[in-house]
Amino acid sequence: VNKGTAVSFCSPEEKPMLTEIQEFLGKEIKVINLSSEDYVEIKGESEEKNSDWKSLMKEAEVWMNEKAKKKKKKK
């Protein structure tokens, strides 16, 4: 079993859903309140990382193609 820390953002409109999730799990989820400045900073960092997903997919495709070519040469 892999263990780690997960972080999720919850808007005020989603708080009832958070309550349902906590009831389902049978335990409370720790809530960290962010200032508006922290929120803007984190959102900006997330957008920077997510905006480059197409190049990451292209890089993965190239890697898979190279791996397939090497496998064919070994036969």
**Span 15-22, mean pLDDT?**
94
Residues 53-60: contacts with CB under 8 Å, at least 24 apart: none
In this prediction the pTM is 0.47
> How big is the CA angle at 56 (ends 54 and 58), to the nearest 5 degrees?
70
**Residues 29-68: pLDDT tens digits?**
998 888 889 888 888 877 666 567 778 788 888 988 888 8
**Span 3-22, mean pLDDT?**
89
